[in-house]
Amino acid sequence: MPKRRLRFNLLYLILSFALAIFLWFYVMGIQDPTISETFYGVSVNVVGEETLYQTNGFTVMNNVESSTVNVRLSGKRSVILKVNPEDIYVEADLSRITKAGTTSLNCSVVPPDSTLTVENLSNVRVQVDVDALITASIPVKLDYVTDLTENEILGTTSVSPEVIRVQGAESELSGISYALVSPEETITASYYEDLPFTFVDSSWNPVETSYTTANDSRVKVSIPVLEKKTLPLEVHIAEGGGLLRDNVDVEISPSRITIAGEKSVVEGMNALVLKDVDLSTVTKSSSSTEDILLDEGLVNISGVNTATVKITLQNASEKTMIVPASQISIINAPQGFDVTVLESDIQLVIWGGNSVISVVKNTNVNFVVDLTGVSDSGEYSLALQVSFRDLTTSPKVVGTYKVTVDLKPTPTEEE
282 and 328 together in one domain: no
Backbone angles phi, psi at 200, to 5 degrees: -135, 165
| Maximum Cα interatomic distance, the chain, rounded to a whole number of Å | 196
Q: Are 79 and 115 contacting, i.e. CB atoms less than 8 angstroms apart?
A: yes
pLDDT at 245 exceeding the cut of 90 = yes
Sequence-ordered alpha helix ranges (H) in 218-285: 263-266
Q: What percent of the chain has pLDDT over 70?
A: 92
Domain end call among 226, 254, 270:
226
Backbone angles phi, psi at 405, to 5 degrees: -120, 150
Neighbours of 112 (CB within 10 A): 14
Domain end call among 172, 195, 226:
226
**pTM across the whole model:** 0.60
Q: What value does the mean pLDDT take over residues 349-369?
A: 96
pLDDT at 18 exceeding the cut of 90 = no
SS percent in the chain: helix, strand, coil, step 5: 20, 50, 35
Residue 1, pLDDT score: 47
CATH number, residue 166: 2.170.120.40
Say if 95 falls within a structural domain: yes
354 and 305 together in one domain: no
Average pLDDT, the chain: 91
Residue 21, pLDDT score: 66
- Coil/strand/helix, residue 17: helix
Say if 250 falls within a structural domain: yes
Q: What value does the mean pLDDT take over residues 210-237?
A: 94
Say if 163 falls within a structural domain: yes
Q: How many angstroms separate the CA atoms of 52 and 63, rounded?
A: 15
CATH number, residue 90: 2.170.120.30
Say if 55 falls within a structural domain: no
Backbone angles phi, psi at 7, to 5 degrees: -65, -35
Q: How many angstroms separate the CA atoms of 195 and 204, rounded?
A: 17
Q: What value does the mean pLDDT take over residues 93-99?
A: 92
190 and 174 together in one domain: yes
Residue 411, pLDDT score: 84
DSSP state of 310: E
DSSP state of 30: I
Q: How many angstroms separate the CA atoms of 359 and 390, rounded?
A: 11
Say if 17 falls within a structural domain: no
Q: Are 99 and 119 contacting, i.e. CB atoms less than 8 angstroms apart?
A: no
Say if 54 falls within a structural domain: no
Say if 168 falls within a structural domain: yes
Residue 32 confidence class, pLDDT cut points 50, 70, 90: confident
116 and 41 together in one domain: yes
65 and 98 together in one domain: yes
Q: How many angstroms separate the CA atoms of 225 and 148, rounded?
A: 8
CA 275 to chain centre: 32
Name 321's bridge partners.
Answer: 348
Q: Which residue from 219, 231, 220, 236 is spatially nearest to 298, judged by alpha carbons?
A: 231
222 and 241 together in one domain: no
Domain count, the chain: 4
C-alpha distances out from residue 189 to 71, 148, 154, 182, 222, Å: 66, 8, 9, 16, 11
Q: How many angstroms separate the CA atoms of 194 and 222, rounded?
A: 9
Q: What value does the mean pLDDT take over residues 315-335?
A: 94
Q: How many angstroms separate the CA atoms of 236 and 33, rounded?
A: 112
Q: How many angstroms separate the CA atoms of 57 and 235, rounded?
A: 67
pLDDT in tens, 302-319: 999 999 999 999 999 999
Q: What value does the mean pLDDT take over residues 178-207?
A: 95
Higher pLDDT: 169 or 312? It is 312
pLDDT at 7 exceeding the cut of 90 = no
The enclosing H or E element of 111 equals none
Say if 18 falls within a structural domain: no
143-146, long-range: CB within 8 Å, 24+ apart, which pairs?
Answer: 143/180, 143/181, 143/182, 143/204, 144/182, 144/183, 144/187, 144/191, 144/223, 145/186, 145/187, 146/186, 146/187, 146/188, 146/225
Q: Are 242 and 360 contacting, i.e. CB atoms less than 8 angstroms apart?
A: no
Residue 23, pLDDT score: 60
Supply the range of the domain harboring residue 242. 227-314
Q: What value does the mean pLDDT take over residues 323-331?
A: 94
182 and 215 together in one domain: yes
Q: Is 255 exposed, middle or buried (0-12, 13-18, 19+ CB in 10 A)?
A: exposed
